[in-house]
Each structure stands twice: as structure tokens, then as C-alpha cells.
Structure 1
């Protein structure tokens, strides 16, 4: 067990095995999302024979149990105990302080990893060179991420759920995928700054740590290509066919494993269902109605119109990243 302090904050890490590399791809989840996190981990593991990174699944208050059938992936299970560090931060109804766990990752892994790629569990991996992504130099910043998709079309647009009273509007990133420079993150005391801001402005926050990161960093982050976090919504999903992103991120409450209306491509639910039947046979987490979106449905019509309106704006945004490893600092 190691203890990594950030001034008065104590974060304790207990892991199922020692680290094998100086870099890591990290998921944070509870047992409810373990199947989806491990599905993404298995997809990543299938991409390269000799990865230069560990794959970790981290949990906080609720322990997770990985099936023996997934032992071959070499996933490192990590318990991160933050004690009362997150007390005083805003929580949505039914949530625990584990929603802030990713804020503590660089502190927990300081001394073990130099780079951390945090990935949310609600994703689908289509490809990508993750070794190369983890090689990216984000200096002088401590985080590299993808701009929120509202700003793909209109760079200065501010989503009402993203804004905080008194904070100057700025470029805003989606925290579902983040590349973290551990040394810079800890040296700049980003965890402490986020927690202090979150406690002081608890009543003004409309999201969890995504709000905190953006309010505290205020443009002090590196921007990477949207192919690493294609925020899959009704206004971007058709463009994804041509961009063929490395990571599809199912933002919002609608998920392909709970798709009664048939709004998602069937391949997503099919992949999750096969994986869960094999490794989590007692789970009933994939529940779809078996429907497919009709070409003449109202939802499809609205989607086509939205894409037609957005096409030129998206066409201006995507060339900012001539390749998938382009970084804007």
C-alpha cells in the first residue's frame, strides 16, 4: 500500500499487483459499470501485442469483482481510498463521491505512473494507437482532452450546463477521456484546486468534476483530436461513419445497452451482449427492444436535418487535426 499526500489531502492506493509500466490506461467504475469498462479494456487489449502501458480499473467505496475469464487481460484492480477528501462537493441524487474519483488518479498513482489516460466506461473502441497517444507531450499543461461537442460547431458557444456564474466563458473540454501528465498535475496541485473550488462554489455547479476542471483550468489544457472522444449524439453520429473515430463516447443518459427505441446502431448492443454473455452470464444489463430506427421516422428526419445544418461547421472544425496525434496547446 502506498500513500500519496496532496497537502492536507490523503489518498491511499491498494492494487491487485505491482505496476509493469510507467504509463496506464485507467477506468473508474463500480460493479454496475464493470462489464462496460472491461469490455472497453478487452477491445484495447486486442489492438496491440506489446502494450507499453498497464490497464487499470479503479474503484472507490464499492469493491468490484472481475471474472476469472478476464484474467488473461492482466487488468490491474485498484482501490482508491480518498477518505473524506471529497466531502462538501456537490452530488446528484443517488450518486456517491466516487463520481469525483478521477480527480484523485494522479495523486494516487504518483511515483508509479508518468502518464495516465483516463477513459470513461460508456465508450466503444474502434481502433487507435494508444502507445502513441500516451507518448504525446502535453507540456506545459497537465491535461489533454477533446473539446465539448457543442463547440465543434460553434467554438465560442457555451452550454448552459457547462457555465458557472462569474467564470469567464472559455474553450470547454469533455472530461470523459483525459490524458494526464502525472508530474505536472501534482506539481500544479490540480486536485487541491478543484476540491477547494468545488466546496466554495457547490451551489453553482451543474455537473461534477467536468465543471471543476474547466472552471479551474480556464483554457490551460491541451486539445487533441475528436477521434479520441467522439461524443456520440443525435447531431454527430452520422458524421462518425466517415470520421471513423478511435473512441465512440455515448454521452448523455441514452446508452446502446438500454436502447428500446432503436436509435443506436445494432452493432454496439450486439458487441456488449456477446461480451456480457461470455464474462457476466448472470447480468441482464443489455436490454434492447430489438427495434431499428426507420429511415422515414421523425427521429431520423430530425437527425438528417441537424447534420445538414451542421455539415459546414463540422467540415471547418475537423481539419484542425490533420492527424490523430495533432495537439493544440
Structure 2
């Protein structure tokens, strides 16, 4: 099924980094886009911001980034899929990317908006060998220390345990994706099991692929939680991903380092004339929470080292997650 694209400029490369966001999340996505652009001053890939309608024009202060703004029509394709209260079908828009950009891109690196970029060779990642797979991703943090854990969604669908990825960072080979009809299969599964589904397309894709995907080093999607925050300072991830409800621009619990909030505040103030609410943002003094975080990571050091030792470096992609 085609998904017509309206954009402010043509594609300039055969590869792109793509964000899907609207509302305030579009500004946060642009923060990550600006960080990537700063790392690649002469990049050979596009950076796109997509929505179900074309995003608003960028402020003049961001025009130098050359970001491609795209509206992708869904045509009601995802109407039969489960939605959490207050969500719209934009949560499924990344499923449309391989078809929407069929004429534009061979490779797409999809990134969630709640990403903070530290470093990384994105050009090399976009051209990495996926060993015949249509998708490369990072394991969900629920399997970092317990790789054989059976995801709850698999249990509900009667599926066996299998490697399970976090869909906040996905490297897509678009021709291979379309050849395997992954989007059609995911939508069909979601429609047939609407009452048994939890969350959104992450579970659909994992259920359809069942481990048939290439595995990226966790540096490309370091899921920032109580079980990984301190270890991140030693590992030095490329991308920090603020999964769950605690976001640097809004969380008031003091559990995230202030540098993240300050970075977002400076960016939105400079380019959008506003800053995230700073009321209540402060270093954590919750001693019990800090002790539990430190203790949890201390206990898991061995298993985390085993996980990291599977990779020779951040651009090492394991050929089959099911292995």
C-alpha cells in the first residue's frame, strides 16, 4: 500500500535519519537532529522530520540544518490497531516509512524524539552490513541482563521466548522490508489480536519477526533507566534513550542529570522562544532511590559485561538476533 509523501524538498541521498513527531515532541526531535548535524558537518545522508501532516516550517535559526519536512498520509491503514487513550495513529507512522520512502531511500535510521545524542558515526551505521536482515535494532533493556526472558506480549499471543528489540532506534533496509511484507504482516497481526495487544508497533514488529533481525550494539540505543544510568558513564553510549515517563524536559523527580534538562532548555529557548518548565528540577536527594539504583547496577555488572562482550565495537552488528 502506498503512503503519499508531501515534503518541502526532494531527497538528496539514498539514506536518511528519520524522526516521527508532532507538537512539542517535534522540538525535542529537532534537538537530536541538530546534535547529529553537528557531528556530520558534510553529511551524505538526509535528516527528516515526519508527521501525518507536513510539520510546520522550521525557525530561521534552524534553516541551516537542511532538515527535510515530510507529511505521510496513512489513508486509515492503522485504524484497526489498538491505541492507548490520548494517542493518535502517529504512533504507528514508522510502520509506513518503508513504503512512503520507497522512491527516495534505500536505508532509513528511525529515531524516537526522546533521544539525546552523545557521539557516533551515523554515516557508517547507515551503510553497515545487516547480514541479509531487513531490520537492525538494540535489544530491549528487559533482556540486557536476562536474554532469555519471555516478553509479556509474547506470552499473551502464545509465542515462545525470542530476542526482543526496542523500537526507539531502528535501522531499516527498505527494499528488504518491503520484500518481506513486514508492515502488512504487522498490521494483520495487530488487527486480528487487537484485544490481546499491549503498547503499539514495537510489539507488533517483534511478534512478526520473532528474532529475525540483526542486533546493534547497545551504544546505539542506551535505554536510560535506574538499572543503566550509572553504567552509561563508563560505557559512553552514542545515543541515550529516555524510555518511560521520565523525560529530561518534564520530570520533576530529580532522577535525571541536570545537564539533559539544561540542554533541552537552551535549545527550545534559542529556537522556539520557550523553555521547559524548570520548577522542581533539581538533583535527586532521594537516598532510597539512589541506593537501589547503585545496588541494582552493582549486582548486574557481570551480566552487563557479558552482554557488552558480544560486540567488538559500536559498529559491530550481529548477524542474527535469534542466535
Aligned twin of 1:301: 291
Residues 1:225 and 2:212 aligned together: no
Equivalent in the alignment of 2:309:
319
Query: 1:312 deviation in Å?
Result: 1.0
In structure 2, what is the Cα distance between the partners aligned to 1:161 and 1:171? 13
Distance 1:45 1:10 in 2: 30
Query: Deviation at 1:10?
Result: 3.2
Pair 1:121 & 2:113 matched = yes
TM-score, structure 1 length as denominator? 0.94
Q: Pick closer, same or farther for the CA change 1:79–1:62 going to 2, 3 Å.
A: closer
Tell me the distance in 2 between the aligned counterparts of 1:288 and 1:244. 29
Q: Does residue 236 in structure 1 map to residue 228 in structure 2?
A: yes
Say if 1:288 and 1:92 are closer, same or farther in 2 by CA, change over 3 A: same
SS of the equivalent of 2:293 reads: helix
Q: Distance between the aligned counterparts of 2:239 and 2:154, measured in 1?
A: 22
2:278 match: 287
Structure 2 CA distance, aligned partners of 1:326 and 1:185?
21
Counterpart of 2:161 in structure 1 is: 169
8 Å contact 2:54–2:69 — kept in the other structure? Answer: no
> How far does residue 168 in structure 1 lie from its aligned partner after superposition?
1.8
Does residue 188 of structure 1 match 2:180?
A: yes
Please list every run of at least 4 consecutive aligned residues from structure 1 whose deviation after the TM superposition is greater than 2 angstroms.
61-66, 158-165, 283-288
> For the residues of structure 1 that align with 2:39 and 2:213, how far apart are their CA atoms?
28
1:31–1:65 CA contact under 8 A, matched in 2: no
So what's the TM-score if we normalise by structure 2? 0.96
Distance 1:202 1:152 in 2: 28
Cα gap change, 1:257/1:45 in structure 2, threshold over 3 Å: closer, same or farther?
same
* Corresponding residue for residue 21 of structure 1: 13
* 5+ long unaligned stretches in structure 1: 1-8
| Distance in 1 separating the partners of 2:126 and 2:94 | 17
Q: What is the CA deviation profile of residues 153-201 of structure 1, one whole-angstrom value per residue up to 9, with x for unaligned ones?
A: 0111134356432122210000000000011011111111111111001
In structure 2, what is the equivalent of residue 35 of structure 1? 27
Report if aligned partners of 2:147, 2:163 keep a CA contact under 8 Å in 1: yes
Taking a change above 3 Å as real, the CA distance of residues 163 and 62 of structure 1, as seen in their structure-2 partners, is farther
After superposition, the CA RMSD in angstroms is 1.4
Find the aligned partners of 2:173 and 2:84 in 1 and give their Cα distance: 29
Where do 1:1-329 residues align within 5 Å?
A: 9-61=1-53, 63-160=55-152, 163-281=155-273, 283-294=274-285, 297-329=287-319
Deviation at 1:34, TM superposition (A): 1.0
1:171 and 1:84, CA in 2 relative to 1: closer, same or farther beyond 3 A?
Answer: same
Partner of 1:175, secondary structure, is: strand
Do 1:14 and 1:80's aligned partners in 2 also have CA atoms closer than 8 Å? yes
Q: Which segment is superposed worse, 260-269 or 155-164?
A: 155-164
Taking the aligned partners of 2:60 and 2:186, their CA distance within structure 1 comes to 37
Count of aligned residue pairs for this structure pair: 319
